[in-house]
Amino acid sequence: MSKIRYFLFCLPVVALAVAAPRFAEPTPVRVGVYDSRAVVIAFTHSAAGKADLEKLMARYKAEKDETARAALEKEGAALQDRRHRQGFSTASIADVLEHMKGSLPTVANQAHVDVLVSKWDVAFQKEGVEFVDVTNEMVAPFQPDENVKKMIESLSKVEPMALYGTQWETLEKH
């Protein structure tokens, strides 16, 4: 290949390389993590949580069929068991998150995070991923009073109970 052809071939490649924007360092992914126990406790004590329970109680009181009433009693007991596992351990709170799905984008935007996840569900963290505690932002839509805020604050001092291996049915029910 002649020097002129080589030069004419390389000139556009060099020009593109010089004109190409420099690759910037990627912005780290920001993950909003929250204590799911706090969210379920705030929900349980909120107007929405109380309304859910009242609906179940109203259905029970209105039901005349004993078989249906027994099924509603089981549903209530299962709900209480689920709330215990969610509030004292690391069980999924997907049912509670349904009540705040309209608030989740706002929570993420306010905290400047790309993802929201329970801190108990993070199995692996790649270097460069930034984690931000958004527990307070996740609790805020339920408007907790001072007593609930104190309960939530006390969670930070206590590790969750084991989800598996705990004898949930033998724990004191309230």
Per residue in 69-114, pLDDT (tens digit) is: 889 889 888 899 999 999 999 999 999 999 999 999 999 999 999 9
Rg of the chain over all Cα atoms, to the nearest angstrom: 26
* Distance separating alpha carbons of residues 174 and 172, to the nearest angstrom: 7
User: Domains (ranges, CATH) in the chain?
Assistant: 27-156 (3.30.910)
pTM (2 d.p.): 0.78
Nearest to 160 by CA among 84, 101, 54: 84
Nearest to 131 by CA among 152, 150, 109, 115: 115
Cα dist. 60→1, 44, 65, 72, 84 in Å? 90, 19, 10, 6, 21
